Amino acid sequence: MQERFIDGVVNAGANNIYGLQFTLTEDVENEARTEAYEKATQKARIKAEGIARGLEVQITGVKSISDSSFDFYPVMRDVAYALEDAKSVDVASGDVDVTASVTVSYSFR
């Protein structure tokens, strides 16, 4: 069985580990961010179409759009262990969320 990274660190002599950070590669983050923006703008359009129907008007265009998204923050796992006698360390993985939030102003007639 392939040795896991953290087990290798412990076997090399580390006796304290204070945290792990799970991140995305730049390509994966960019792909996830693009998908999040597409979904956010689709949701904005669906909401605007419902409002337009309720008011009996038509959407004629986009007046403005702004991005109010936050950059994603890596998932941190606190792993402060005394590892002197540890044979294997289990680390639970986590999810890294990439979200997008947009504000769209539409013009109507």
pLDDT per position as a tens digit, 63-101: 999 998 776 555 555 544 444 445 565 666 677 788 899
- pTM of the shown model: 0.65
pLDDT of residue 1: 43
Distance of CA 71 to the CA centre of its chain: 8
Q: Please report, for residues 43, 46, 49, 59, 86, the alpha-carbon distance to residue 102 in angstroms, rounded to integers and kept in the order given.
A: 10, 13, 16, 18, 47
The predicted pLDDT at position 34 comes to 95
Locate 18 and state its tokens: 């204070």
**Four-residue CA torsion sign, 36, 41, 47, 49:** negative
The domain spans of the chain are 5-108
Cα gap 104→48, rounded to integer Å: 9
The yes-or-no verdict on residue 43 having pLDDT over 60 is yes
Q: Which long-range contacts (CB under 8 A, 24 or more apart) does 49-55 make?
A: 52/106, 52/108, 55/108
The secondary structure of residue 72, as a DSSP letter, is P
